[in-house]
Amino acid sequence: MIDRITVSMPRALLKDADRLARQLGVPSRSALIVEALRTLLARSHSQDVDASLDAYYGVRSQGEVAEERAMVRAFRRSRRRLDFDREGTE
């Protein structure tokens, strides 16, 4: 469902937006604004995820970091020994 809204913007910005829409082959101002907003929101979400990961990994102790590294190494060793194509076919 699409809701109709009205947006006011400076004339110069609108001219730039129209030029960009023509260059990109976007069929309408609305489509350009929707795509720009989606891009902005996706970037914002990505930054939120990055900030959350930084916050999580920033508070771990050296012991926790070492433990995680050891678990990753063990997983990689076990993965090399496991043949996924043969698993369950015997």
In the predicted structure, residue 89 carries a pLDDT above the cut 60: no
What are the extents of the domains in the chain?
11-81
Q: Please, are residues 17 and 32 in contact by the beta-carbon 8 Å criterion?
A: yes
- How far is the C-alpha of 34 from the C-alpha of 32, rounded, in Å? 5
pTM over 0.75: no
The region that residue 10 occupies, defined by phi over 0 for left and psi between -120 and 50 for alpha, beta otherwise, is beta
Q: Identify which has the larger pLDDT, 9 or 64.
A: 9
